[in-house]
Structure 1
Amino acid sequence: MTSFNDTMTSLLQNKEVIAQQKIGVLKAAGPDAKKFLQGQITCDINKLTQTDALYGAICSIKGRIITNFYLVQNNDDVLMLMSADLVEKTLLHLKKYAVFFKAELSDESEHFHLYSRLTTASVESAPETLTEKLPAITNDNGIKLTVSQYPITVQWLLTDSSNKIEEQNQELAALEILSARPVINLEQSETILPQWLNMQRTGGISFTKGCYTGQEIVARMQYRGKSKKQLALFQSEIPMETNQDILDKEGKNVGQVIKAAALSNGYLAQAIINTDPSEIDGFLIDNQTINHLSLPYSIDSAN
């Protein structure tokens, strides 16, 4: 397995990356907002506070992810930060259930900007698992959410649409892929189980909170372990693109790229691999070798 840390550290040395992201904002408001969402999302909304954000998903009855997101609390409102092209679909899905609660749902995307801020790692080594609670700070400038602290520090800065932040070193924004906490898009909606994105190891699934839509399938996958599919990271000097197939040296399809981005010296990608990467002797795209990178957390043991 290739270590990318030295190269990455060199790229970020004494630099701060700030890049605007195409993230949508769905707001849930009203006295029953949290109670309503608790029956729809994989994470435990009772742990959401002004200072603790969450990572989670909304699933179909078949356990497939409709959307996944970061949750932040903005005064009494809950804000779901997700791929911009999934806000409309998610609203339509949730409104079918919201009629039974004193909760109001709305697309607030036009009222916010979302920026990623990347700096060098704030911790020295990879944690065993990523915590459910993510540090969040609210002030006059907006909400700052710490998404990752290793192998780089990734923060999301949510600001009012009237408050723009100057972007810098955007050419390094691809490094955010290394946080290995994907947010899917509309094309990928209802095609992926949460465990295929390692959400059981990244704080995105609570196995103690009780029922939610798709919970039975997600729990069965966790405790019966019928699928070895998991998220993996890759680096390459050749182009890698979303939906590209990944093959082993015998030409067998072993996975597919779900997100890719270019750096000045190559490409980074997140992919869903069909089995434990350690069982595969070499990965190829278009008959060219690509490098498998270490995840910033372990997925060897169950929660």
Structure 2
Amino acid sequence: MPALILPDRSLIRVEGADAQHFLQNLITTNIDAIAPGEAWPAALLTPQGKILFDFLISKSGETGYDCDIRADQAADFIRRLTLYKLRASVEFNLLEDQPVIAAWDEDAPQGALRDRRFPEEADVWRLYGNEAMPDGKPADWDAVRIAHGVAESGSDFALSDVFPHDVLMDRNGGVDFRKGCYVGQEVVSRMQHRGTARRRVVTLTAQTDLPARTRNENSNEDELSIMAGGKPVGSIGSTAGGSALAIVRTDRVADALSQGTPLTVGDAQVTLSLPGWTGLSFNSGDTNTPDK
């Protein structure tokens, strides 16, 4: 079983008598729908509806939840949760002795949680504090994410720069449109019902290896842009050989495809595809259509 300790991830436990109610009214995911053995995508948004923190969330015991988040964002996440705590009976603890492990391509190892960002047949799992000896490589894990169109902040997009729709959270269960209010809910709900999402995560393929993206820390602009007829349509995130994740303007890509305009990165011609599990297609024009 390929597996990999993710040193850039940390685990935060949210527990207490009010933990369920506290989180249900704060984050995008429907807490009540999380079953044992599952890790769901989730986000805490800005009031303007953009992703402030992205993470995976799973149940822990009777009254607790584990948040699997970027290590460099853990302290800020706890501070932000504390601002919302008020008088709620809830505590936040960084579990420094619990390594975060990703595993894939096999049946679930003991104690594993299914990573619901991926289609079920992909067999991708999360383990916390497991003593197994992982033998995977970071490049292997990037390749798995790219193959299935699973984007993460830092690697593929900047926090406070994208809406949940942009990174397919409306399609993978990361956003619930029926559970009621949470921070940023009004904006995200309006995008859903009006069908105004214009950016989406896609998988990009080229005939040659793509250079690794570097981000200018003083801006949200990526150095690797996808061009169509001399105009940018999106930018690249994680790369693995000739494949990459990218976030693109779907209307501009659709126009380029309909007009036969080549899509390029540097001198390389590339092909873009929406992840099959999303049910979205450039050709059908349903890249921003709300669920019926």
Runs of 4+ in 1 over 4 A off after TM superposition: none
The whole-number CA distance in structure 2 between the counterparts of 1:111 and 1:206 is 32
1:87 to 74, 96, 104: 74
2:290 maps to which residue?
302
Deviation (angstroms), 1:91: 1.2
1:200-233 deviation per Cα after TM superposition (whole angstroms, max 9, x unaligned): 1111111000000000011111112334111111
User: Is this contact kept in 2: 1:41–1:213, CA < 8 A?
Assistant: yes
User: Is this contact kept in 2: 1:85–1:185, CA < 8 A?
Assistant: no
Q: Which has the higher contact order (CA 8 A, sep 6+)?
A: 1
1:254 maps to which residue?
233
Deviation (angstroms), 1:169: 5.9
User: Is this contact kept in 1: 2:24–2:182, CA < 8 A?
Assistant: yes
CA distance 1:51–1:168, shift in 2 (3 Å): closer
1:241 maps to which residue?
213
The whole-number CA distance in structure 2 between the counterparts of 1:39 and 1:103 is 13
1:167-207 deviation per Cα after TM superposition (whole angstroms, max 9, x unaligned): 14665322222222323139711111001011111111110
1:104 maps to which residue?
91
The whole-number CA distance in structure 2 between the counterparts of 1:51 and 1:166 is 20
2:272 to 272, 275, 292: 292
User: Is this contact kept in 2: 1:113–1:164, CA < 8 A?
Assistant: no
2:17 maps to which residue?
31
1:210-259 deviation per Cα after TM superposition (whole angstroms, max 9, x unaligned): 000000011111112334111111123232415234333311011112x3
User: Is this contact kept in 2: 1:82–1:183, CA < 8 A?
Assistant: no
Residue 18 of structure 1 aligns with an amino acid whose one-letter code is: A
Residue 103 of structure 1 aligns with an amino acid whose one-letter code is: V
Unaligned 5+ segments in structure 1 are 1-15, 123-136
CA distance 1:283–1:118, shift in 2 (3 Å): farther
The whole-number CA distance in structure 1 between the counterparts of 2:32 and 2:120 is 26
CA distance 1:285–1:83, shift in 2 (3 Å): same
2:201 maps to which residue?
231
User: Is this contact kept in 2: 1:197–1:231, CA < 8 A?
Assistant: yes
Deviation (angstroms), 1:155: 1.8
Check if 1:283 corresponds to 2:263: yes
1:117 maps to which residue?
103
User: Is this contact kept in 2: 1:197–1:230, CA < 8 A?
Assistant: yes
The whole-number CA distance in structure 1 between the counterparts of 2:138 and 2:43 is 28
Deviation (angstroms), 1:164: 4.3
Deviation (angstroms), 1:278: 3.6
The whole-number CA distance in structure 1 between the counterparts of 2:196 and 2:138 is 40
CA distance 1:283–1:31, shift in 2 (3 Å): same
Deviation (angstroms), 1:295: 0.9
> What SS is found at the alignment partner of 1:95?
helix
Check if 1:189 corresponds to 2:159: yes
Q: How many residues align?
A: 264
1:178 to 120, 142, 147: 147
The whole-number CA distance in structure 2 between the counterparts of 1:185 and 1:247 is 19
User: Is this contact kept in 1: 2:225–2:235, CA < 8 A?
Assistant: yes
Unaligned 5+ segments in structure 2 are 215-221, 281-285
1:75 maps to which residue?
61
The whole-number CA distance in structure 2 between the counterparts of 1:189 and 1:171 is 23
Judging by fraction of residues, say which structure has more strand: 1
Residue 279 of structure 1 aligns with an amino acid whose one-letter code is: D
2:36 maps to which residue?
50
